[in-house]
Every structure is written in structure tokens, then in C-alpha cells.
Structure 1
Amino acid sequence: MKRCGWVKTNDVLDRTYHDTEWGQPLHDEQALFELFCLESYQSGVSWTTVLHKRQAFNQVFKKYDIAKVAAMTDEELEAMLSNSAIIRHRGKLFATRNNAQQFLQIQKEFGSFDAYIWSFVNHQPLDHKVSHYQDAPSQTSLSEQIAKELKKRGFKYVGPTMIYSFMQAAGLVNDHEVDCSFNPNHF
């Protein structure tokens, strides 16, 4: 099997994430929220580190139940700072609650976050036909536009690079290498 060049083949979580999730069009609200949060935690650390802390993040953030995360108290968030199983960054942890609150506002306004975010790509994944993963951009004018929109709506820890990574991960853009066995265009 051929995988994208960024995959650490000696890491089972990297392989599994690439093979079963990354770049597959995602439409489930809770899964979109979890992925959005995980991408926001990545700034300054490797994606592999985030993946290895994913289970612990799911536990402390109530399986990313959006309403429950939106209602978390300052005390609950502060207590997470002593949990070595997660990335202990106060700003990112508090941003998770804030972003859940903003997520709920988007759901209220647009019916779902899925409808909102996918509208930026006309509800069809953009296919960049990447021959090597290093040819994929780290951000685009579209990810800049989305980041600005989300910031205006009150989201935290969102920038064009984070948003582009989210777009790749959630399948809004297909940046699987063209000869990758897991490229959605092969199914």
C-alpha cells in the first residue's frame, strides 16, 4: 500500500489516522468539532503528539459533546492544566470552550456547522492533485478567508494554516498524493 509521504509508518496512530480519517469528507457535527479542536491544539507541536493525546482530550472534553464543552466552567478548564495526558496550554483549553460556544451559534444560524463550512467549497472537496505532500500549500486565500470569518465570529486559535490543516483533515480539500492508496478519488 502506498501512503502519503508525511505518514510516519512506524507509528500506528499516524497510519490509522491517515488510512481511515485524513482527507475523507467529514459531515458529522461532533466529529467536525473534535477535529477542529485537535487542529487548534497542533500549533507548536507535531500532529503525532496531538494524535497520541487524542484519547485523553476526548475524556476531558466529554467526547467533544459541543453543548457540554460550551457549558464547561473555568474551574474545570483550570483543573486540566495539571493533566499531563493532554497538551496543557491554558489559552488553547479555554479556546475550546469558546469555540464550542461559537460553533453552537453557527449551528443556530446555518442549521449546522457542516452546512456552513462546506459552503466555502460549494459542498464539493477541492482536489489539488498533489504529487508529493510537500507540494501541498500550508495555507491558501480560501483558508485566509475562512480564518477571518471565524475570527469575526469570535473563534480563537484559528489562523489560515490551522484552517487549511482542518480543511485537509476534514476532506474539504483532497491533498492526498495522487498515487496514495487512500486517496478518496480511488474509491
Structure 2
Amino acid sequence: MTNRCGWVKMTNPLYVDYHDKEWGRAFHDERALFELLCLETYQAGLSWETILNKRAAFKQAFHDYDYHRVAKMTDEKLEEILLNPDIVRNRLKIFATRSNTLAFLAVQEEFGSFDSYIWSFVDGKTIHNTIPDYRQAPAKTALSEIISKNMKKRGFKFVGPVCVYSFLQAAGLVNDHESTCDFNPNK
């Protein structure tokens, strides 16, 4: 029997796959980091399961998160996306996708890559926490507060410290797999 983190909803194969194949893995691919960042911003105020269930529709609507194409999306195209019942139809979040793309591109220009920028906050190394039970993991940290402020200053939207911490976990900058989880790289 496979041990997983207690937050994994075992009745949803998308949830299980996400945990087993993505969550907490060290991501360095620009497109993958951009997609994870977007998904985390969509989650604000919603459940992660809702976002996972709508992920395929988001990918289609936003050109598989090709950030160069997303940056060129018009207001009319974003308004059209808002008509799609298969996504979270929050106007601020949908329009923030384009704003965040422009901020993402500016970070790439300044740092050479978003990967270099975001991983610089952890000196290029995953922070490994000891989490006996997922309910003991923090919702935000001093680090996520610092990154949140920095990202907001750069024009990113929906990047509060809780969202940023969730992104850090998802992208593998922080390892918060439970101690007994078979997918914990420190087990």
C-alpha cells in the first residue's frame, strides 16, 4: 500500500496524479512554473480540487500556458474565456493571468529566467520541512511574505503570502510532504 500525504483526495484520480507526479517536485521549466503560478492564483478562495478539475480547460483557454501567446491576448479574448463554464469565471483572475504574464516576462528579462528569480529566494535548494501531519504545515511563512511583497512590487496579482507559499510547495521549493509519505524525497 502506498502512503500519501493526508490531504490527497483518494477518490479523485486527478488529485492522486497531481500529488504523485507533480506536487513538491523541483520544477525548473519556465512553462511549468508559469502554469503552477497561474493555477495557484486561480485557487484563491477556492478548493484545490476545483482547480484540478478545471485544469484542462484552463490549459486550453490559455494556449497550454505559452506565456508569449498569453501576453498577447486581447481584452475581447479574455472576455470570451469568461463565458466558458469549464473554468473559474472570475474576471479579476482571468485578466490577472495576462497581467501576471507580463510581470513574468519582465522577471525573465531581468533575471534571465523566472526559474532563476524564484529559486534565488531559497539559494537554489529545496527547503525540507518535517511535517508529521499536513495540518501542521504553515499556510504562510516569513519567506512567502518576502516573496509575495517582491512579486506584488513587480506587478503580479493574486500573489498573497498564502498563495505564494502554496506555489513554493507545489513547485518544490519547499518540501512539505508528510514524513510518512512515500513521495517525500527525505524518506
Shorter chain as denominator, the TM-score bin is: over 0.9
Superposed displacement of residue 41, structure 1: 0.4
Q: Which amino acid aligns with 2:89?
A: R
In 1, Cα distance between equivalents of 2:130 and 2:38: 27
After TM superposition, list the pairs within 5 Å mapping 1:35-184 onto structure 2: 35-184=36-185
| Deviation per residue, 1:43-101 (Å, 9 max, x gap) | 11110010000000000000000111111000000111110000000000000000000
- SS of match in other structure, 2:143: helix
Q: Which amino acid aligns with 1:8?
A: K
The answer to whether the Cα contact below 8 Å between 1:23 and 1:184 also exists between their aligned partners in 2 is no
Q: Give the gaps of 5 or more residues in structure 2.
A: none
| Deviation per residue, 1:146-187 (Å, 9 max, x gap) | 00000000111110000000000000000000110011224x
- SS of match in other structure, 2:115: helix
- SS of match in other structure, 1:185: coil
Superposed displacement of residue 129, structure 1: 1.1
In 1, Cα distance between equivalents of 2:166 and 2:129: 14
| Alpha-carbon RMSD | 0.6
The answer to whether the Cα contact below 8 Å between 1:41 and 1:92 also exists between their aligned partners in 2 is yes
The answer to whether the Cα contact below 8 Å between 1:39 and 1:165 also exists between their aligned partners in 2 is yes
| Deviation per residue, 1:82-134 (Å, 9 max, x gap) | 10000000000000000000100000100000000000001001011111101
In 2, Cα distance between equivalents of 1:98 and 1:53: 21
The answer to whether the Cα contact below 8 Å between 1:22 and 1:169 also exists between their aligned partners in 2 is yes
The answer to whether the Cα contact below 8 Å between 1:133 and 1:177 also exists between their aligned partners in 2 is yes
Is the counterpart of residue 13 in structure 1 residue 14 in structure 2? yes
In 1, Cα distance between equivalents of 2:110 and 2:185: 31
- Report how many aligned residue pairs link the two structures: 186
Identity over aligned pairs, percent? 59
In 1, Cα distance between equivalents of 2:81 and 2:36: 19
> Moved runs in structure 1, 4+ residues, more than 2 A?
none
Which residue does the alignment assign to 1:22? 23
- SS of match in other structure, 2:155: coil
